[in-house]
């Protein structure tokens, strides 16, 4: 296994990596870094949590010419949170390197402040597409010198409807640029985007890393819609997570659950698209600083977020596809830490559960907490007999007598 030095990363940065405990490149880093250094266009497909950020950040840093003061690299990413996260990662990496400047550009920030920052030498711009286009239209940012372009979480940019903006932005960059595309999935629209903007791209795929899922203890609790909230409250009382993310299907459900947590005396924050930028930032900061224990989120808002110390992920509402299950539970136990993922299932969720089992090629053991997640035994057996006639819950159930040991 080559180390970062052998991959062509300078010793100052290697030193910083070491001090952060990052010594062995992940598979996607091992394969991507040399190709990017050679100047090739690359398409990299790998699950969340496989280290894609450093796979493009590190070789880009090697290629920046600090003697020039123009923008040389542009990283486009779907959400503000990711833009902040990536720019923070870059700043961390250049701690021992002179003169590389990075600017994050995303909606909700003070524009005048951004403009002032843009006046100095900026080598790398990390941006969300919408706000970046604003700047292009105002003439406050010039991308005509961009030689390296990264489309990060390209599938998510597609899902959020950003492709037209991405098109317009790419048009502003040098046509001789090097283009890198990172994505967890490769829908057709992303393939055609790659075809349109890349020259003989190298396709690098790291197969869905089952290890990430394997490293996470997965628990499934059977409940009903009516008993869900009480079940969750029971579980968190028992697990006492250090930091937990709770996923809900909609903004309204996230808000409601957040309110319930507060009402029960927990430190909680909500994270979804209905909140102002400053509220979202505050919530993220409090969570990162471990001032709040719970973050109640929708998928989009929490996509790609990497927070250290998340011990538990709760799927309050079951995700409706395999990718989003893997993404969600990947928020815990990242890069070596332990993690527990707990999924609550109501009878109507069974088809999604089966689909997830198939996708990750694992069978779940379904647990119940008698009297909490389902009615007391007697009532329950009646219901259960009826359901097994209907073909639901016929396999793999185990009672836990109110004690789900998930530590
Ligand atoms: P992705 O973009 O693929 O979802 P990230 O780039 O956000 O993944 O990385 C996930 C986590 O793994 C981050 O906390 C990052 O610091 C950490 N990480 C990245 N590369 C390594 C490595 N080579 N060794 C250990 N941890 C790493
Ligand atoms: Mg990423």
Sign of CA dihedral 159, 345, 304, 107: positive
Query: End-to-end alpha-carbon separation of the chain, Å?
Result: 33
Q: Which of 184, 173, 181 is nearest to 202 (CA)?
A: 181
268 vs 295: CA distance, rounded Å:
6
Structure tokens at 358: 């198939």
pLDDT score at 304: 60
Bridging pattern class, strands 178-183 and 148-151:
parallel
pLDDT score at 384: 58
CA–chain centroid gap for 14, Å, is: 25
DSSP annotation of 87 reads: H
pLDDT score at 382: 58
Phi and psi, residue 65, nearest 5°: -100, 105
Which atom of ligand 1 sits closest to the CA of residue 26?
Answer: 23
As for ligand 1, residues whose beta carbon falls within 6 Å of it are 22, 24-26, 29, 46, 48-54, 304, 306, 334-335
Candidates 20, 28, 53: which one to mutate for ligand 1, based on the most atoms within 8 Å of Cβ?
53
Total residues found in the chain within this entry = 407
Ligand closest in space to the Cα of 75: 2
Ligand closest in space to the Cα of 54: 1
Phi and psi, residue 372, nearest 5°: -115, -65
- Under 8 Å between Cβ of 127 and 76: yes
Separation of CA 152 and ligand 2 centre (Å): 7
pLDDT score at 307: 77
The H-or-E segment that residue 103 falls in is strand 102-105
Separation of CA 222 and ligand 2 centre (Å): 32
Please tell me the residue having the least CA distance from ligand 1 atom 20. 51
pLDDT score at 203: 95
Structure tokens at 72: 């040389």
16 vs 66: CA distance, rounded Å:
19
Question: Ligand 2 is a single-atom ion; what residues have CB below 5 A from it?
Answer: 52, 304
Candidates 302, 335, 336, 337: which one to mutate for ligand 1, based on the most atoms within 8 Å of Cβ?
335
pLDDT score at 280: 85
Digits of tens for pLDDT over the chain (407 positions)?
Answer: 689 999 999 999 999 999 988 888 999 999 999 999 999 999 999 887 789 999 999 999 999 999 999 999 999 999 998 999 999 999 999 999 988 999 999 987 776 777 677 667 899 999 999 999 999 998 888 999 999 999 999 988 888 889 999 999 999 999 999 999 999 888 889 999 999 999 999 999 987 554 356 678 899 999 999 999 999 999 999 999 989 999 999 999 999 999 999 999 999 999 998 888 788 888 988 998 889 999 999 987 776 677 778 899 999 999 988 878 888 887 786 555 678 999 999 999 999 999 999 888 888 989 999 999 988 766 556 555 555 555 444 444 444 444 444 44
Coil, strand or helix at 74: strand
Q: Which of 225, 231, 234, 154 is nearest to 187 (CA)?
A: 154
Q: Which of 155, 161, 152 is nearest to 191 (CA)?
A: 155
pLDDT score at 395: 42
pLDDT score at 68: 93
Structure tokens at 252: 């309204």
Phi and psi, residue 75, nearest 5°: -115, 115
- Under 8 Å between Cβ of 328 and 313: yes
Separation of CA 330 and ligand 2 centre (Å): 12
Largest Cα span, the chain: 77
Residues ≥6 apart with Cβ < 8 Å to 274? 251, 255
Cα-based distances in Å from 347 to 82, 248, 362? 35, 17, 20
Which atom of ligand 1 sits closest to the CA of residue 153?
Answer: 2
Q: Which of 279, 237, 234, 278 is nearest to 254 (CA)?
A: 279
pLDDT score at 11: 95
Structure tokens at 210: 């089952």
208 vs 325: CA distance, rounded Å:
13
The secondary structure of 272-312 as a DSSP string is STTS-HHHHHHHHHHHHTTS-SEEEE-HHHHTT---TTEEE
């Amino acid at each position: 296994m080559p180390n970062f030095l052998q991959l062509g990363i300078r010793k100052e940065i290697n030193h910083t990596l070491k001090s952060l405990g990052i010594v062995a490149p992940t598979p996607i880093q091992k394969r991507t870094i040399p190709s990017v250094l050679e100047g090739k266009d690359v398409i990299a497909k790998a699950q969340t949590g496989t280290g894609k950020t450093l796979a493009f950040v590190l070789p880009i840093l090697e290629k920046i010419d600090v003697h020039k003061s123009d923008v040389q690299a542009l990283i486009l990413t779907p959400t503000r949170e990711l833009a902040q996260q990536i720019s923070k990662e870059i700043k961390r990496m250049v701690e021992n390197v002179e003169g590389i400047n990075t600017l994050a550009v995303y909606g909700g920030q003070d524009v005048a402040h951004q403009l002032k920052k843009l006046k100095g030498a900026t080598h790398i711009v990390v941006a969300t597409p919408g706000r970046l286009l604003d700047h292009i239209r105002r003439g406050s940012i010039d991308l005509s010198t961009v030689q390296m372009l990264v489309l990060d979480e390209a599938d998510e940019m597609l899902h959020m409807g950003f492709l037209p903006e991405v098109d317009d932005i790419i048009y502003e960059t040098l046509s001789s640029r090097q283009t890198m595309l990172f994505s967890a999935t490769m829908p057709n629209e992303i393939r055609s985007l790659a075809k349109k903007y890349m020259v003989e791209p190298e396709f690098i795929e790291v197969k869905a890393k089952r290890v990430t899922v394997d490293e996470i203890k997965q628990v499934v609790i059977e409940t009903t819609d009516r008993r869900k909230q009480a079940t969750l409250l029971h579980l968190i009382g028992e697990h006492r997570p250090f930091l937990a993310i709770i996923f809900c299907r909609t903004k309204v459900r996230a808000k409601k659950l957040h309110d319930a947590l507060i009402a029960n005396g927990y430190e909680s924050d909500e994270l979804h698209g209905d909140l102002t930028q400053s509220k979202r930032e505050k919530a993220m900061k409090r969570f990162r600083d471990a001032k709040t224990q719970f973050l109640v989120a929708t998928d989009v808002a929490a996509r790609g977020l990497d927070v250290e110390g998340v011990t538990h992920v709760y799927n309050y509402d079951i995700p409706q596809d395999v990718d989003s299950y893997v993404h969600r539970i990947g928020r815990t136990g990242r890069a070596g830490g332990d993690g527990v993922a707990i999924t609550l299932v109501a009878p109507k969720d069974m088809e999604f559960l089966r689909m997830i089992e198939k996708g990750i090629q694992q069978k779940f053991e379904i647990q119940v907490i008698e009297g909490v997640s389902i009615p007391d035994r007697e009532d329950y057996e009646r219901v259960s007999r009826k359901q097994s006639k209907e073909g639901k819950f016929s396999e793999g159930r185990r009672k836990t007598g109110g004690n789900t040991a998930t530590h």
